[in-house]
Structure 1
């Protein structure tokens, strides 16, 4: 019967068993069904003979005030720094036993406990399922994330056109031909006798002639001089938007060697268990 030990313990005592490129989920954020945040990963249990991760120690403080449980590693989906348990529900976690830090767990014994917890009477029928052997296989796939730009268009008021009218006063000159009459007096010398005496008809003999003239009469009429209609036209233009995006890349070369960001090989030879404990503050 294989025993289960904490990953941090095997890191210090049997580093040759797990190698240098093992996955350590400790400290990752944990999510349950419907991507509901439930807490974080406190560590992992591995087989003492193979070093394979079989359980993740999950602190379900988001569902309970304080409760650590063992969740089969095969139920996990790892995305970056997050661990998703897509089928794990609150009722299932409630049926699980609290993880005991001082207890020596065995793979077979804990397997039997799982089979009971996931089909417990307190778990709704729709959430029950039979635990399979594949439920204990640690995920061997990492999802590498990248950011992509999404562009949406909003309709805004870019301008406002108002068309009105006002009165402009200006002077206009119009040439008009007018006629007017002037008196023209002709005098003719006459030499003939008359019976009248000088002065007899001084007050009765007058001649009146009406002199006529044309006078300009100016009137104003209103005409429609211009028609104005306002419409809209649509023009298209291309706008370039610059934004910084990120993506995750795997730190291995074509030969499978671990490399840093500059492509240099990472050499972990000579690192002792004491170095690991010192780096972790143990």
Structure 2
């Protein structure tokens, strides 16, 4: 039977055989059906004969207080630092055996347990999955990176408009027509006999007539003479930004050999690219 060994053991003891061109899921976030976060990927089990990743060790602490299980690697969908198991449900994980760090797993034995767990009576019928052989194949992944320009726009204060007002004093003249009364005395000669004697009208020897005149009374009233509205207009202009970016390109020749920049085939400790592909069953 083909034995399964932990990826971290190969990294420690057989780094020369696997090189650097492989996918390591350790530490990535794990999500189940409906993209519900269930925990993290704690590592992987690799088939000893082919060096292929067959299982991901998943800590499903988001569904259970603590439970690590072996999930077939082919069920994984990797997006950056996240691993999505789109068809993995809580009922399936509950039917799976907990991963034992000290147990020596074999590929044939574990696949039988998987296929039984994924169709167990405790799993709802609509969630049962018949596991196929390709559900255990995880591709070796080498991510090629490139830098891309990201341009954002910030709002800044480019100018400040302040509108105020002040008081202006000026002299104004206003012409007002006023009326004023003056005394006008008319004397008329009279020759009329009377019974009154001189002195009878003592105390009434004078008369008073009120003379009226108009006086200007000046007041001030306030009027709104102008309204000011301050608005803003937007103008567009194009700014050209120059920046240097980098990207990574894979160095391989037409036969699939890893080569350096001069085109020479790269060997690691006398192990050729053909030896690596043979060790991986390619």
Aligned mates of 1:37, 1:225 — CA distance in 2: 67
Which is further off, 29-38 or 144-153?
144-153
Aligned mates of 1:13, 1:173 — CA distance in 2: 108
Deviation by residue 1:167-192 (Cα, 9 ceiling, x = unmatched): 865213589xxxxxxxxxxxxxxxxx
- SS state at 2:116 partner: helix
Deviation at 1:22, TM superposition (A): 2.8
Aligned mates of 1:240, 1:123 — CA distance in 2: 60
Instruction: List aligned pairs for 1:103-122, cutoff 5 A.
Output: 103-122=103-122
Deviation at 1:44, TM superposition (A): 1.5
Aligned mates of 1:225, 1:16 — CA distance in 2: 90
- SS state at 1:130 partner: coil
* Count of residue pairs brought into register by the alignment: 222
Task: Name the counterpart of 1:132.
Answer: 132
Task: Name the counterpart of 2:100.
Answer: 100
Instruction: List aligned pairs for 1:86-97, cutoff 5 A.
Output: 86-97=86-97
Task: Name the counterpart of 2:251.
Answer: 253
- Asked if residue 59 in structure 1 is aligned to residue 77 in structure 2, the reply is no
Task: Name the counterpart of 1:42.
Answer: 42
Which is further off, 19-28 or 109-118?
19-28
Deviation at 1:134, TM superposition (A): 1.6
Q: Which runs of 5+ in 2 are unaligned?
A: 176-215, 272-282
Task: Answer whether contact 1:5 1:45 (CA < 8 A) is retained.
Answer: yes
Task: Name the counterpart of 2:82.
Answer: 82
- SS state at 2:103 partner: coil
- SS state at 1:38 partner: strand
Task: Name the counterpart of 1:234.
Answer: 233
Task: Name the counterpart of 2:191.
Answer: none
Task: Name the counterpart of 1:280.
Answer: none
- SS state at 2:83 partner: strand
Instruction: List aligned pairs for 1:160-239, cutoff 5 A.
Output: 169-172=169-172, 228=227, 230=229, 232=231, 234-238=233-237
Task: Answer whether contact 1:76 1:86 (CA < 8 A) is retained.
Answer: yes
Task: Answer whether contact 2:39 2:59 (CA < 8 A) is retained.
Answer: yes
TM-score normalised to the size of structure 1?
0.57
Deviation at 1:136, TM superposition (A): 0.7
Deviation at 1:48, TM superposition (A): 1.9
Give the direction of change, closer, same or farther, for the CA distance of 1:36–1:221 in structure 2 (3 Å limit): closer
Deviation at 1:257, TM superposition (A): 4.3
Task: Answer whether contact 1:67 1:98 (CA < 8 A) is retained.
Answer: yes
Give the direction of change, closer, same or farther, for the CA distance of 1:65–1:250 in structure 2 (3 Å limit): farther
Task: Please report the RMSD computed on the Cα atoms of aligned residues, expressed in angstroms.
Answer: 4.8
- Asked if residue 9 in structure 1 is aligned to residue 21 in structure 2, the reply is no
Task: Answer whether contact 1:79 1:142 (CA < 8 A) is retained.
Answer: no
Aligned mates of 2:224, 2:25 — CA distance in 1: 83
Task: Answer whether contact 1:4 1:107 (CA < 8 A) is retained.
Answer: yes
Give the direction of change, closer, same or farther, for the CA distance of 1:161–1:81 in structure 2 (3 Å limit): same
Deviation at 1:138, TM superposition (A): 0.6
Aligned mates of 2:266, 2:72 — CA distance in 1: 32
